[in-house]
Amino acid sequence: MNARATAFAFTAFAATLATFPASADDSFGKDLMATIALQGKPCDQVVAAKRNGDSDYVATCKDGHRYHVYVNAQGRVVVDKL
Average pLDDT over the chain, rounded to an integer: 77
Q: Each residue of 3-39: pLDDT tens digit?
A: 554 434 444 333 333 333 434 467 888 999 999 999 9
Distance CA 13, CA 74 (A): 44
Average pLDDT over residues 68-76: 94
The per-residue DSSP string of 18-57 comes to HHHHHHHHHHHHHHHHHHHHHTT---S-EEEEEEEETTEE
18-28 per-position pLDDT tens digit: 333 434 467 88
Higher pLDDT, 65 or 12: 65
List the chain domain ranges: 3-81
